[in-house]
Amino acid sequence: MAGGVGAAKFVRGLALTVDQRRLDVIVNTGDDETFYGLYVSPDLDTITYTLADVVNRGPGWGLAGESFNALGALTRFYGKPWFGLGDKDLATHLYRTDRLRQGASLSRVTAEIARRFGVRASVMPASDDQVRTFVKVKGLPTMPFQQYFVKRRFRGAVETIELKGVATASPCPAALRSIRQAAAVIIAPSNPFVSIGPIVGIKKLREALRSARDRVIAISPIVGGKSVKGPADRMLRGLGHEVSPLAIARLYRDLAGTFVLDNIDAKYLEPVRGLGMRAIAADTVMATAERAASLASVVLDSLAR
């Protein structure tokens, strides 16, 4: 189960460890947004581009070797852009929007896009229904996730996070089937509130995870008292949690039987075990593809122990 850039690093490691065809990646759509009338699914695209090995490695999103001519030309009509959409990337959004308008489901279109990029893993949204993440920051009205994350660069103290539509969303059938049948279900090191929250907030997926708990492994996105990147630490603090892997483990204790934290946080192994989870320490900072692959091996081996 995956959000965007953090998850994609892990998924890449996994794809180097097991045959891509054995992987189902269930992806967050709470960050989806419409720009210039185009339906943009940032996390789905980040996962797809990463698995296709065409991602822009620096930022970890978008396509390698992009130009931004169309975005520049759009400034004439829409003013200064704050969301980066490259020229080649726009083709993906045009295709997705066109197919959705024709009545295809998001899961169908996602599979089509992945196939056209040569991805052999199954990439799927958690739901074909609309789930949208909104963030309330101190002193400001509630805003859609991308405004908080990209436009405002996640400044400010987070007061609430709202996942609109999650309570009534149905899971994508393939996602439900996958959780029920997979040898291992891995919650990638993603933001627990805004990346994994919109997935596990879907009732049937949550129930399926609970039933599969012994096969579910979660990896901490908090390392050494902070996020490796992004606002997960601020969100934990703002929502009244401590900023530690233990706080993440508490969020997942019902869903995951095994929890992986970083070697640097080994002191939390026993407290995590105290929550009734198996706990493992590993090198979780995926600075290279090789390190991501060894983390993937550790995670998969943990079930065999």
Residue ranges in contact with ligand GDP by CB under 6 A: 3-7, 9, 189-191, 195, 219-221, 223, 227-230, 232, 284-286
* For ligand GDP, the closer CB: 107 or 227: 227
Question: Which residue, 99 or 236, has its beta carbon nearer to ligand GDP?
Answer: 236
- Closer residue to ligand GDP, CB minimum distance, 9 or 93: 9
Q: How far is the CB of 195 from ligand GDP (least distance, A)?
A: 3
Q: Nearest to ligand GDP by Cβ — which residue?
A: 6
Q: Which of 49, 45, 56 is nearest to 12 (CA)?
A: 49
Q: Shortest distance, CB of residue 22 to ligand GDP, whole angstroms?
A: 21
Which of residues 201 and 221 has its CB atom nearest to ligand GDP in the complex?
221
DSSP states along 256-304? -SEEEEEGGGGGGHHHHHTTT-EEEEE----SSHHHHHHHHHHHHHHHH
Q: Which residues pair with 33 in a beta bridge?
A: 40
The answer to whether residues 161 and 134 touch, using CB atoms and an 8 Å cutoff, is yes
Q: Shortest distance, CB of residue 183 to ligand GDP, whole angstroms?
A: 22
Instruction: Look up residue 274 and give its two tokens.
Output: 């105290």
Q: Which helix (H) or strand (E) holds 76?
A: helix 69-78
Q: Which is nearer to ligand GDP, 45 or 128 (CB)?
A: 45
Among candidates 122, 170, 166, 163, which has minimal Cα distance to 145? 163
Distance CA 34, CA 55 (A): 21
Of 181 and 288, which CB lies nearer to ligand GDP in the complex structure? 288
Report in angstroms how near the CB of residue 185 gets to ligand GDP at its nearest: 16
Look at residues 304, 300, 220, 271 and name the one whose alpha carbon lies nearest to residue 18. Answer: 300
As a whole number of angstroms, the distance between CA 55 and CA 74 comes to 24
Question: From the CB of 31, what's the least distance to ligand GDP, in Å?
Answer: 8
The least distance separating ligand GDP from the CB of residue 223, rounded to whole angstroms, comes to 5
Q: Are 49 and 110 in contact (CB under 8 A)?
A: no
Partners of 135 in the β-ladder:
143, 161
110 half-sphere exposure, CB direction, 13 A CA radius:
30
Q: What is the DSSP letter of 226?
A: E
Nearer to ligand GDP, 151 or 180 (CB): 151
- Least Cβ distance, residue 130 to ligand GDP (angstroms): 19
